[in-house]
Structure 1
């Protein structure tokens, strides 16, 4: 990997968590005027988040990132058993885990097969499971499989299906993961880059959904608790804040928040994608210093997890070289 690719990979989880935490204070509050100033104010949705605290979306990504830092294969049920055990333990004291996630994790044993079975039962009972609860946890999956897009798509879908059985959820995770990979490796935002990884009969529908996102604004997708509209809202925010500078991270994340609805999910997806495009230093400094959450981590910890996940546990894959020294300086700056 080049120095720029290292930098972009280092910012992915931090960008996601910052978007998540920024959106947490505005969840379900409705669209806001474009002139409205938004901040990491906490609260939101009646869940009493602390200022800068990330929500369930980032919390569920952390155990996957930790497994990736050890070079574990996220397609392996033995690895996922450990991840799920963390999720089940977390859900016992979590302020909120989403309707689908809460139902699945509260009634399951702490292993992959048990939650997968509980997810299927919940899906069959309600006839749907296409919420966005599995989307953001694809970010560490993307980092773990930067070198293998086929394995990335497999892992993204497998991890999603632990809690969300519906095809839309799996498709969205594949598309999001491959877009993150492309942004890190190529320095380009392209939500359509993963369309070829979907079954051919579903590609046209997803392409049309992204066409719609480019025509409309984030507020035009009020059902963005549905994973399809989450991704549409996120892509709309990115599309309408495009530019040639790293300020897009702030602009796009704030646009996502002003769009209303499930703001933590949409802004988290935007934060991950734009940080994957523009790199660690593009994440606004005040956000970096304030962001924090389960299990007692801060922004600097997410940067380390990103670096190590992208290199299978090797300390960012850049120890003892110039890139490694540059990353160390940036990590100190985050303290």
Structure 2
């Protein structure tokens, strides 16, 4: 089934984009013909094929979704927050906002949310791109309930990033992934109707701007708005204009274009990678990247595919046994 193939590739496509960009972070922009490959390095000296904190923070969300938990429930957010705090104890630096939110002694959602708000109030902003990639599993968990998807994506964002821009970006990206899986159409505007009229107009203009510019033009892509704009620009400017149903390397072209844009290349390529995999499916992710990709907490590409499948079927009661077996396998 085409939709099954698309949903199965989302987390893998995201992680491969993230890992590809890791070795090029802050080294661009690069010329359009510059070769891009898995090379490791970057600010945290990532291993070749290793995903960064962006994908790592998505893993607890995906696990919760795969276990059939409601991502809107505070009890579920408590479990996710506890795993994030555990990750943060040994993780490389992940940005001021995340470090502030996850460094406290109380690993509950309420405590994380409170610490994030305190940091936001002290500096006046909290719309870094660290909130966005981790919401990809939300799209999988609520494929058939866009309203619940939007609520869960915003709630998950607000655990650590208080600005409206952050929540809006997560809602728009999550609904775009859902729409692409279900229809095969790439459309970042599909979620605009969920925003208030003023926010809808603002984001419509931002998407228009992304389509008129190149990824390298979004030099502030540590900001969630420009990270999403850069990713969408990369997709739009490499999209197959023939509208064929065959993958002509569109996934690879898109994520490589995102990396060549420079700046937060791991984030931008990961954002683009999830959407492109939702369009072109699992097989579109290059086999070399699928073999190499790996990261916290000791997972590999095949584990991400399995998580995607389980998250996308998280409301099916006959998946309960398989969800439990993944949990046991993943924590060994």
Normalising TM by the smaller chain, what interval? over 0.9
* 1:178 CA displacement: 0.1
- Give the whole-Å Cα distance in 2 for the aligned partners of 1:32 and 1:136: 23
| Among 42, 45, 48, the residue aligned to 1:44 | 42
SS at match of 1:192: helix
> Which stretches of structure 1, 4 residues or more, deviate above 3 A after TM superposition?
313-317
- Equivalent position of 2:328 in the other structure: none
| Among 206, 209, 212, the residue aligned to 2:209 | 212
How high is the TM-score relative to the length of structure 1?
0.92
SS at match of 1:11: helix
Q: What per-residue deviation string (whole Å, max 9, x for no partner) do you get for residues 176-195 of structure 1? A: 00000001000110000000
2:269 is the alignment partner of 1:272:
no
- Equivalent position of 1:295 in the other structure: 297
* 1:40 CA displacement: 1.1
2:239 is the alignment partner of 1:237:
no
2:82 is the alignment partner of 1:85:
yes
* 1:103 CA displacement: 1.6
Assess if the C-alpha contact under 8 Å between 1:19 and 1:253 holds in 2.
yes
| Among 21, 24, 35, the residue aligned to 2:22 | 24
Structure 2 unaligned blocks of 5 or more: 322-332
Q: What per-residue deviation string (whole Å, max 9, x for no partner) do you get for residues 67-106 of structure 1? A: 0011100000101101110000000111232221112101
SS at match of 1:137: helix
Moved more, 35-44 or 250-259: 35-44
- Give the whole-Å Cα distance in 1 for the aligned partners of 2:72 and 2:266: 27
* 1:12 CA displacement: 0.2
Assess if the C-alpha contact under 8 Å between 1:115 and 1:162 holds in 2.
yes
Q: What per-residue deviation string (whole Å, max 9, x for no partner) do you get for residues 299-332 of structure 1? A: 0000000000000175997x9xxxxxxxxxxxxx
Structure 1 unaligned blocks of 5 or more: 320-335
Q: What per-residue deviation string (whole Å, max 9, x for no partner) do you get for residues 95-118 of structure 1? A: 232221112101251110000000
| Among 187, 190, 194, the residue aligned to 2:187 | 190
| Among 305, 308, 311, the residue aligned to 2:310 | 308
- Equivalent position of 2:63 in the other structure: 66
- Give the whole-Å Cα distance in 2 for the aligned partners of 1:73 and 1:157: 14
- Give the whole-Å Cα distance in 1 for the aligned partners of 2:315 and 2:172: 25
Give the CA RMSD over aligned residues.
Answer: 1.4
- Give the whole-Å Cα distance in 1 for the aligned partners of 2:152 and 2:197: 19
